[in-house]
């Protein structure tokens, strides 16, 4: 798995210009959302939701290209012939995608703080939520990326399949982030974080089991 993860990270490093473009897209989305609300107290209230909406829209650009290199070079079949389980390839790629989304989410946090006046001392909590939420998006996102990799309209088909499945992760991430920004006197954030951990465990286990069937078909 370490070798597969290293391969994916090297591929992402070689296409780092694309990562920069995705960050610019996410930051622009946050800027447009702030203009839509206008200068009001509601900006801070909705900061958590807009952060995850920007990250979600940006994630479709990265996840849809997860298997682009393998399909372009017709290397996927060769990788499947290696004496390792296909799950190793899946988890290597899913971990790489999760890391990319985590870095993107962390990079968008300062943009959110400036645009939405969302300063808070609970930055470590927000970073933890970004890690868990990004993992919850990348696990099914990598699976669906493999399913749609040969489709002509994969950038349209992927969000249609992915978004309904990750609604619980998004709701928990938005709620936990909002509580971290606005304050959590009732200590409700812990329950939402626990929900994120639960869904991450389900998605990473189930998607790993289903990946064999996806690549065989």
pLDDT tens for 142-174 read 888 888 777 666 677 888 888 999 999 999 999
Indicate the pTM of the whole model: 0.85
Are the C-beta atoms of 196 and 204 separated by less than 8 Å? no
Between 163 and 82, the more confident residue is: 163
Pick 126 or 183 by higher pLDDT: 126
**Confidence at residue 8, expressed as pLDDT on a 0 to 100 scale:** 60
Query: Which of 192 and 7 is assigned the larger pLDDT?
Result: 192
Supply the pLDDT for residue 128: 94
Q: What is the mean pLDDT of the chain?
A: 82
- How many beta carbons lie within 10 A of that of residue 79, not counting itself? 15
Higher pLDDT, 104 or 15: 104
Strand runs labelled E in the chain: none
Distance CA 146, CA 54 (A): 23
């Amino acid at each position: 798995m370490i070798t597969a993860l290293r391969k994916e990270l090297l591929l992402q490093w070689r296409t780092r210009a694309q990562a920069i473009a995705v960050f610019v897209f996410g930051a622009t989305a946050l800027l447009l959302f702030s203009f839509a609300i206008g200068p009001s107290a509601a900006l801070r209230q909705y900061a958590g939701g807009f952060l995850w909406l920007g990250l979600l829209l940006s994630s479709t650009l990265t996840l849809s290209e997860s298997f682009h290199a393998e399909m372009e070079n017709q290397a996927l079949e060769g990788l499947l012939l290696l004496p390792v389980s296909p799950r190793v390839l899946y988890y290597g790629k899913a971990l790489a995608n999760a890391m990319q989304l985590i870095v993107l989410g962390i990079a968008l946090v300062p943009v959110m703080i400036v645009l939405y006046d969302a300063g808070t001392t609970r930055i470590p909590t927000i970073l933890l939520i970004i890690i868990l939420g990004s993992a919850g998006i990348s696990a099914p996102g990598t699976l669906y990326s493999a399913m749609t990799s040969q489709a002509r309209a994969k950038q349209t088909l992927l969000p249609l399949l992915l978004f309904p499945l990750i609604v619980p992760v998004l709701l928990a991430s938005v709620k936990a982030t909002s509580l971290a920004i606005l304050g959590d006197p009732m200590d409700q954030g812990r329950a939402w974080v626990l929900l994120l951990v639960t869904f991450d465990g389900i998605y990473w286990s189930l998607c790993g089991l289903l990946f064999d069937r996806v690549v065989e078909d």
